[in-house]
Amino acid sequence: MKRIFSGVQPTGNLHLGNYLGAIRHFVALQHDYDSIFCVVDMHAITLWQDPTELRAHTREITAAYLAAGIDPKACIIFNQSQVPAHAELAWIFNCITRIGWLNRMTQFKEKAGKHRENASSGLYVYPNLMAADILAYKATHVPVGEDQKQHLELARNVAQKFNYDYEVDFFPVIDPLILGSARRVMSLRDGTRKMSKSDTSDMSRINMTDDRDAVAKKIRKATTDPEPMPGPDVLDTEGELPEETRKQRPEAYNLLGIFATLEDRDLRAVLTQYEGAQFSQFKKDLTDLAVSRLGPMGEEMKRLKDDPDHVDSILRDGAERANAIAQPIVRECQEIVGFLRP
């Protein structure tokens, strides 16, 4: 069976974008693949995290996986730092990746901001750790949101260069699985920026644990424009929204895309239903829909928050199973490199 690996960083404020762009797909794919879902705490500390909060957020992501419907018996759920193979392989990849490749990574530029020389070196080599996460399990398929596409291309290049440099056929080719219509959910305040955990404005995102009042307020205050809602004629012949059209009304199309994905309908049907309507009615319907989809998961996450022993036991069991797969692969890789293990 083909293997998938994916992860979410425990950096707090888990949001609708993480759910629609990633976690929802983990649930859908879990029985078709040998599935490994990680809470990537080592990635999280590329930006400083309060240790107490990091522990709480690690449990929170685990709770989100469980609440969304990932079965910990069928899949492996664990946190990255419990399995040494990730760090061991990442070091080898630090020595394979070229600096020029890392310099092209847009996420580093965005996260490092203007004062790049003050960013951690961990943030810079983040894509190498991500490549190690995947390849320590020889996973071939990686379900992620569109924002991670560039990192996955780098991971592919690392695997190919390793195979080439050492004249082996050791690492497989990685395939990104960027699925569905909500590949990039945008901020509720600014349709040109992605919805993000680290956005300082809580009004920019719908958190998975938001209650009805919070969801209603955020959607009511979401930026829109004064025009009535567009109709299906904005779509091209393939039923896709042309990028140029999206750019003209990014906030409106973002909300429409969220609606279509949450309802599991295509965008054409939603545009047909709301053509010419005012945003106020649409926003009420979107609130009801978002609450009906996220509400039960948020409740379950809150319940699991009060049961940390259960969550920890899942992470412990997952780490043992993950280690059993990753350790032999990384040992073999170290032998290829020439590390002596007398």
Name the residues annotated as catalytic: 111, 194, 197
Question: Shortest distance, CB of residue 206 to ligand AQP, whole angstroms?
Answer: 11
Which span (14-22, 207-215, 275-283, 310-318) binds ligand AQP, by CB under 6 A? 14-22
Question: Shortest distance, CB of residue 341 to ligand AQP, whole angstroms?
Answer: 33
Tell me how far apart the alpha carbons of residues 124 and 107 are, in angstroms, rounded to a whole number. 9
CA dist 259 to 173, 229, 230, 253, 255, Å?
Answer: 34, 13, 14, 10, 6
Question: Shortest distance, CB of residue 171 to ligand AQP, whole angstroms?
Answer: 21
58 part of the interface to ligand AQP, by CB under 6 A? no
Q: Please, what sign has the CA dihedral across residues 160, 162, 167, 168?
A: negative
Tell me how far apart the alpha carbons of residues 24 and 270 are, in angstroms, rounded to a whole number. 20
12 part of the interface to ligand AQP, by CB under 6 A? no
Among 62, 148, 207, 261, binds ligand AQP (CB under 6 A): 148
Question: Shortest distance, CB of residue 208 to ligand AQP, whole angstroms?
Answer: 11
Classify residue 102 as left (phi > 0), alpha (psi -120 to 50) or beta: alpha
Where in 144-242 does DSSP place strands (E)?
175-177
Q: What residue number has its CB nearest to ligand AQP?
A: 21
Report which of 284, 278, 269 is spatially closest to residue 239, judged by C-alpha positions.
269
Binding footprint of ligand AQP, residue count (CB under 6 A): 18
19 vs 162, beta carbon nearer ligand AQP? 19
Among 4, 36, 38, 144, binds ligand AQP (CB under 6 A): 144
Tell me how far apart the alpha carbons of residues 50 and 53 are, in angstroms, rounded to a whole number. 5
185 part of the interface to ligand AQP, by CB under 6 A? yes
Question: Shortest distance, CB of residue 298 to ligand AQP, whole angstroms?
Answer: 17
- Spatial CB neighbours of 266, under 8 Å, sequence gap ≥ 6: 181, 239, 260
39 part of the interface to ligand AQP, by CB under 6 A? no
Among 5, 11, 77, 158, binds ligand AQP (CB under 6 A): 11
Which span (74-82, 116-124, 139-147, 207-215) binds ligand AQP, by CB under 6 A? 139-147
Among 4, 5, 9, 64, binds ligand AQP (CB under 6 A): 9
- Residue 6 pairs in a beta bridge with 37
- Residue 147 pairs in a beta bridge with none
Among 89, 136, 195, 330, binds ligand AQP (CB under 6 A): 195
Q: Which two tokens stand for residue 80?
A: 């990255």
Among 147, 267, 291, 298, binds ligand AQP (CB under 6 A): 147
Contact (CB, 8 A) for 133 and 38: yes
Say which DSSP state 138 is in: T
Contact (CB, 8 A) for 107 and 150: yes
Where in the chain does DSSP place strands (E)?
3-8, 34-39, 76-79, 141-143, 175-177
Residue 35, marked binder: no
Residue type, 261: T
Q: Collapse the DSSP code of 245 into the 3-class scheme (helix H, G, I; strand E, B; otherwise coil) and give the result.
A: helix
Among 184, 305, 310, 331, binds ligand AQP (CB under 6 A): 184
198 part of the interface to ligand AQP, by CB under 6 A? yes
Residues that bind ligand AQP (CB under 6 A): 8-9, 11, 17-18, 21-22, 144-145, 147-148, 184-185, 194-198
Residues at the binding site for ATP are: 9-11, 17-18, 145-147, 185, 194-198
Q: Which residues are annotated as a binding site for L-tryptophan?
A: 133
